Structure 1
Amino acid sequence: MTDRLPHVLRSDAASNRARILEAARTLFSARGLDVPMREVARRAGVGPATLYRHFPTKQALVTEAFADQMRECRAIVDRGCADPDPWHGLCSVIEKICALHARDRGFTEAFMSTFPNAADVTADRAYTVKAVTELALRAEESGRLRPDFLIPDDLILMLMANRGIHASTPSSRAAASRRFAGFVIQMIQASPQHSPLPPATSMNR
């Protein structure tokens, strides 16, 4: 019996950690990063002491909760940069980044926040900005991107506007984000072609 006790404790700790991360992702994605740590603990079904034992600070919890989204964001940028057509690659990055951030309001806040002790978040954000900057320069050199589009300023502006989309359901928010990305792409073209935008959706559905 005593030989099994450490394994049971480790299993319980892993289960608690998984529940905390699931609760944090759910709450942060829906409401942003202002959700109190005690509410995360309550949602996870653990005590505050257990939460703080796994994540001593909210910064640590946010970093771990959105680690998958950070990796996905980096993969989106890598695929866009690998596209032999830099304009097509940039459009793909804008569309997919907006979609990713529309799914997770908290991720947008985490991406744009300054976490001085979160090396992973800082490094991933710096990598993303640098890669998109280089991609945008190539798109501008190809003659497709208007020369006054600024990185990172306009990239952050785009993410802030995308974060401001409010809808009653995730599917409506995703549809609105696709349309917003379509507007952005047309606005930053050197010679706008005004191709059809993604369909509009009722923000109340």
Structure 2
Amino acid sequence: MPARNVRKDAARNRERIIDAARIVFREHGISAPVATIARIAGVGTATLYRHFPSRDDLLTAMFGDQARHRIAVLDDAVADPDPWRGFVRSLETVVEMEMENPGLSEAIVSQRHAIPVYEELRVHAVAALATLAARLRDGGIVGEDFRVADILLILAALKGISDTAGENAVPQARRFIHHLAHGIKRP
């Protein structure tokens, strides 16, 4: 029986470390000291390193599922019979995900070469966004010059909203997306 208790304690410690990392990374960015994470989790740094030998391991545990979820969101957007609806839903979902797990975008950009799931997300995202942009162009929904870079620009604007709008980020992001969809100039 003692071995089973140790495993439960280890699992609890692992979850507490991940929860603490979310808090610390949200407040201080992904370069925050691991000692701060350990302190907030109520464990020693040795325990933290036993579960996550490197910062990359902690980031993978923390953001790996969210990265895979973003891949699924993109796949859904590309598969939607209405490319505009898929595009708008994916933008809204990405904002909501960023609000729930701030730092994922930063981690993907800064750690993508070190963490395989991030590089997988980046490669998959570029291909999916290219397909989505082509579907939007082919459907006459956007101009012929609309490319992946334009989607990335929109995502950067939405990231700015999620970084600065606090709890109002999702409604403000939806308003921004509405303006994108309908334009701001009256006919």
Question: What is the match of residue 25 of structure 2?
Answer: 28
- Name the counterpart of 2:173: 177
From 150, 157, 164, the equivalent of 2:160 is 164
- Segments of 5+ residues of structure 2 without an aligned counterpart are none
Q: Spell out the pairing of 1:38-117 with structure 2 (5 A cutoff).
A: 38-117=35-114
In the aligned structure 1, how far is the partner of 2:111 from the partner of 2:181?
Answer: 28
> Which amino acid in the other structure matches residue 107 of structure 2?
A
**What is the root-mean-square deviation in Å for CA atoms of aligned residues?**
2.3
Deviation at 1:138, TM superposition (A): 1.1
* Contact 1:29-1:107 within 8 A present in 2 as well: no
Structure 1 stretches (4+) deviating beyond 4 angstroms? 192-195
Question: Once the 2 structures are TM-superposed, how far is the Cα of residue 9 of structure 1 from its aligned partner?
Answer: 1.9
SS at match of 1:143: coil
| Cα distance between partner residues in 1 of 2:71 and 2:81 | 18
**SS of residue matched to 2:130:** helix
Instruction: Identify the range of structure 1 (100-109 vs 38-47) with the bigger mean alpha-carbon deviation.
Output: 100-109
Distance 1:87 1:185 in 2: 9
CA deviations over 1:29-55 (Å, ceiling 9, x no partner): 344313221111111111111111111
Q: Secondary structure at the match of 1:105?
A: coil
Q: How many matched pairs?
A: 184
**TM-score (normalizing by structure 1):** 0.78
What is the aligned partner in structure 1 of residue 136 from structure 2? 139
Q: 1:150 aligns with which of 144, 147, 152?
A: 147
Cα distance, 1:92 vs structure 2: 2.0
TM-score by length of 2: 0.85
| CA distance 1:7–1:102, shift in 2 (3 Å) | closer
- Provide the identity percentage: 36
After superposition, the C-alpha distances for 1:98-122 in whole angstroms (9 at most, x for unaligned) are 3322333211212333332311121
On the 8 A contact 2:18/2:62 being kept in 1, the answer is: yes
Structure 1: give runs of 5+ residues left out of the alignment: 187-191, 196-205
Q: Deviation of residue 141 (structure 1)?
A: 0.9
Tell me, yes or no, if the aligned pair for 1:105 and 1:163 is still in contact at 8 Å: no
Given residue 63 of structure 1, which amino acid in structure 2 is its aligned partner?
Answer: T
SS at match of 1:145: coil
Q: Which amino acid aligns with 2:131?
A: E
Q: Which amino acid in structure 1 is aligned with residue 22 of structure 2?
A: R
- Aligned pairs (5 A) from 1:10-29: 10-29=7-26
The one-letter amino acid of 2:159's match is R
Letter in 2 for 1:69: Q
Structure 2 CA distance for partners of 1:154 and 1:88, relative to 1, 3 Å: same
- Tell me the amino acid that sits aligned with residue 172 of structure 2: A
Distance, in Å, in 2 between the alignment partners of 1:157 and 1:35 is 27
1:30–1:71 distance in 2 versus 1, CA, 3 Å? farther
